[in-house]
């Protein structure tokens, strides 16, 4: 990372260059890897972050989470006992559908282009740049800054965030204030839905298609499940939303089955996603949904497996809470809620106040062309600068 040298305050152009530098380090989630991305995952960017943070004087921990894919925890000692933890996920979505060079990090039209530019390497570049800015002045931040780089946010069950949560719990540590970095146009997001993913396998009995009465059609059983879950979705839509996050929802997103065109299918698999509204308890929702599915599939049996081993309650904070209001005031924006999910789902046990916050728009994330406006980088950097300097 280039130094700000004696130039003082890091400029918007320098921030853009550093975002471009990070974009040029591919870190596609292995579950979405392809020929364009390679299969290195977050390994290179984790090593880069550890080296950069160490060079800036941070206390660095590299936490190997899975198959050499590591979280990085960098703590920059502050002047007070106050702490601020910033979680930035290191993985990006896939790039095989991108229509330009996904890793060129080019700067044009007052934007930085490339995979991860907005989701969410921008915040990583900003925090490190501001730490370097302070170091060049011979200063420390007022609060201790814990910069946390986590793996596997885009797919894989948020195992990076779970790993950091468990790391804190093992040490009896908690967080006063936490920012989960995502593109929110610098509006503090105080809530979004949780979720449960269900893999379903309907079991039938094969027979010749000319004699269907001798078989049990697993696809027919699956069709009944789809209809039952559609009815459940209609029920959820009629509920009074408890918060601005809205109601829970359920959709069937994948289906596969059958052996041949002349055989009654003896199996059919489905994937159903259930989004949880604030106040819904994952275990209770799972039990209720399992009853709906089992009754619909009868007389056929169905196996129900929760994807990634656990569901997630919704993330929700009081929009009038101190952290949310503090960020809204500094950014000149209003508290908001999100439709997507984030690492915030894993931190309720260890963080007193959590907000999802960052530069750029989620509308540019995951696109065939990804970009972030330099103006958003400058706004976010100004907010963090004032925060770090007290």
Domain ranges of the chain: 12-191+314-388, 194-309
Taking 70 as the pLDDT cut, the residues of the chain under it are 1-7
**Rounded Cα gap, residues 152 and 282, in angstroms:** 22
Specify the DSSP element, H or E, that contains 295. helix 282-297
**Rounded Cα gap, residues 54 and 79, in angstroms:** 19
Q: 159 with 41: CB under 8 angstroms?
A: no
Q: 152 with 65: CB under 8 angstroms?
A: yes
Helix, strand, or coil (residue 245): coil
Q: How far is CA 227 from CA 95, 231, 302, 345, in A?
A: 35, 6, 15, 30
**Rounded Cα gap, residues 46 and 62, in angstroms:** 8
The pLDDT, as a whole number, for residue 308 is 79
Q: What is the pTM of this model?
A: 0.92
**Pairing between β-strand 69-76 and β-strand 144-150 as defined by DSSP bridges:** antiparallel
The pLDDT, as a whole number, for residue 309 is 74
The pLDDT, as a whole number, for residue 258 is 95
The hierarchical CATH code for the domain 194-309 is 3.30.70.360
The pLDDT, as a whole number, for residue 1 is 44
∠ CA 79-83-84 to the nearest 5 degrees?
Answer: 120
Q: 118 with 371: CB under 8 angstroms?
A: yes
Reported as a single tens digit per residue, the pLDDT across 44-61 is: 999 999 999 999 999 999
The pLDDT, as a whole number, for residue 8 is 75
- Largest Cα–Cα distance in the chain? 84
Q: What is the assigned CATH class of domain 12-191+314-388? A: alpha beta
**Rounded Cα gap, residues 102 and 207, in angstroms:** 50
């Amino acid at each position: 990372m280039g130094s700000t040298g004696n130039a003082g305050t890091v400029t918007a152009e320098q921030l853009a260059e550093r975002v471009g530098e990070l974009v040029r380090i591919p870190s596609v989630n292995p579950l979405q890897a392809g020929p364009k991305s390679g299969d290195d995952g977050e390994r290179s960017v984790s090593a880069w972050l550890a080296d950069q943070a160490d060079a800036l004087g941070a206390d660095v921990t590299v936490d190997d989470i899975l198959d050499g894919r590591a979280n990085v925890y960098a703590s920059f000692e502050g002047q007070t006992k106050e702490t601020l933890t910033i979680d930035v996920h290191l993985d990006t979505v896939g790039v095989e559908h991108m229509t330009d060079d996904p890793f060129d990090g080019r700067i044009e039209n007052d934007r930085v282009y490339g995979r991860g530019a907005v989701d969410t390497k921008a915040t990583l570049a900003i925090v490190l740049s501001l730490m370097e800015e302070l170091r060049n002045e011979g200063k420390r931040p007022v609060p201790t800054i814990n910069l946390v780089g986590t793996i596997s946010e885009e797919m894989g069950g948020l195992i990076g965030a779970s790993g950091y949560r468990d790391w804190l719990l093992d040490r009896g540590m908690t967080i006063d204030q936490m920012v989960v970095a995502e593109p929110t146009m610098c509006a503090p997001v105080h809530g979004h839905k949780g979720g449960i993913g269900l893999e379903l396998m309907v079991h039938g009995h094969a027979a010749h298609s000319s004699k269907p009465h001798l078989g049990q059609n697993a696809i027919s059983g699956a069709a009944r499940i789809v209809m039952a879950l559609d009815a459940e979705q209609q029920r959820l839509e009629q509920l009074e939303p408890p918060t601005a996050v809205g109601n829970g929802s359920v959709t069937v997103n994948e289906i596969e089955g059958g052996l041949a065109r002349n055989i009654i299918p003896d199996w059919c698999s489905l994937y159903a996603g259930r989004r949880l509204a604030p106040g819904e308890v994952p275990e209770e929702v799972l039990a209720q949904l399992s009853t709906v599915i089992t009754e619909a599939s009868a007389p056929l049996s169905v196996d129900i497996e929760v994807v990634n081993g656990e569901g997630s309650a919704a993330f929700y904070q009081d929009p009038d809470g101190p952290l949310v209001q503090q960020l809204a005031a500094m950014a000149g924006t209003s508290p908001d809620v999100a439709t997507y999910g984030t690492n915030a789902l894993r931190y309720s046990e260890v963080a007193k106040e959590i907000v999802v916050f960052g530069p750029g728009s989620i509308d540019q994330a995951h696109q065939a062309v990804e970009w972030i406006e330099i103006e958003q980088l400058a706004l976010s950097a100004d907010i963090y600068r004032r925060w770090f300097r007290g």
